[in-house]
Amino acid sequence: MKRKNVVLNRPVFAQRAFDSQALTVLTTLFHRFPEAGDYDLWVWQGERLIHRAQVSVVAEGGPHQIHLDLATLTEVSKPYSLAVGGVIGFYVSHGVGRYHVKIVQITRREKVVRLDSSDVIPAGDLFAVTLVRPGIYRVLQAGGKGEGEIHVRLPRGERYRPDQATRVTIGKEGMMEPHAVEILAGQSVVFWCTVPTSLRIEWIREEEAAGPPIQRQRVARDQPPRPEQR
């Protein structure tokens, strides 16, 4: 039997800090397009421009959401088409690259920068993190405004699904609502930025041990369970 060569996606487990100004694995930046029109899209990895494309936002037809995997982009691509009010989600599936995105609207008269993620997340956009490492994370905003907390813990035998996301709203004066959230490892927190801001989420420390360690279940037999191996 041939063994497929699979590689563990290490950054998923190694990363401890997430920054909206430098998109990495486990982060997603969502930009909303409230106006129909033509837009230019640039994507950089570090200093290097790696992708250019056009986005055509149309009044009718077109998808409401597109996901772009920044780690697999080619230099040029066909224009993207999006419905007005729709969203492009920029994320990174693997690797250790750090990316930023710029979107410029082309009107008849001028070019307007709608998004420069190396600077701020504009109002109306969203920034999501999927946190895998258990522990306590601190949420920092640009300009030192407001601070939040995210508690990440391993599931303890309860029914667990990674595809649960929690929404945090960032409002005036950098207020975060809710201020502290608790999620299970592998789940996501979505920050809805109603004001322009940039976000940084950092792992601070492990959570104090609360419940009993995870027990690996064996098939029910008339035997005591084996001791856990670490």
Round to whole Å and give the CA distance between 191 and 128: 6
What residues numbered 44-63 form the site for another protein, per CB under 8 A? none
| Site membership for another protein, residue 25 (CB under 8 A) | yes
Which residues are CB-contacts of 8 (< 8 A; sequence separation ≥ 6)? none
When the beta carbons of 29 and 41 are compared against another protein, the nearer one is: 29
Supply 8's token pair: 């563990």
Round to whole Å and give the CA distance between 29 and 169: 15
Round to whole Å and give the CA distance between 132 and 80: 31
Round to whole Å and give the CA distance between 123 and 34: 12
When the beta carbons of 17 and 160 are compared against another protein, the nearer one is: 160
What residues numbered 141-200 form the site for another protein, per CB under 8 A? 154-155, 160-167, 184-188, 190, 192
| Site membership for another protein, residue 67 (CB under 8 A) | yes
When the beta carbons of 74 and 223 are compared against another protein, the nearer one is: 223
Whole-number Cα distances in Å, 59 to 33, 46, 103: 11, 34, 19
Round to whole Å and give the CA distance between 142 and 82: 30
Query: Residue 96 half-sphere exposure, CB side, CA atoms within 13 Å?
Result: 6
Q: Which stretch binds another protein (CB under 8 A): 43-51, 110-118, 125-133, 197-205?
A: 125-133
| Site membership for another protein, residue 107 (CB under 8 A) | no
Whole-number Cα distances in Å, 207 to 81, 136, 137: 44, 6, 10
Round to whole Å and give the CA distance between 40 and 113: 9
Q: Which stretch binds another protein (CB under 8 A): 48-56, 74-82, 103-111, 211-219?
A: 211-219
| Site membership for another protein, residue 91 (CB under 8 A) | yes
Q: Which stretch binds another protein (CB under 8 A): 74-82, 109-117, 137-145, 214-222?
A: 214-222
Name the minimum Å distance from CB 191 to another protein. Answer: 10
| The binder of another protein chosen from 49, 52, 65, 178 (CB under 8 A) | 65
Round to whole Å and give the CA distance between 207 and 153: 7
Name the minimum Å distance from CB 119 to another protein. Answer: 22
Return the number of other C-beta atoms located less than 10 Å from residue 55's C-beta. Answer: 21
| The binder of another protein chosen from 74, 216, 224, 227 (CB under 8 A) | 216
Q: Which residues of the chain form contacts with another protein (CB under 8 A)?
A: 1, 3-9, 12-13, 25-26, 28, 30, 32, 64-65, 67, 69, 85-87, 89, 91, 93-94, 124, 126, 128, 130, 132-134, 154-155, 160-167, 184-188, 190, 192, 214, 216-219, 230
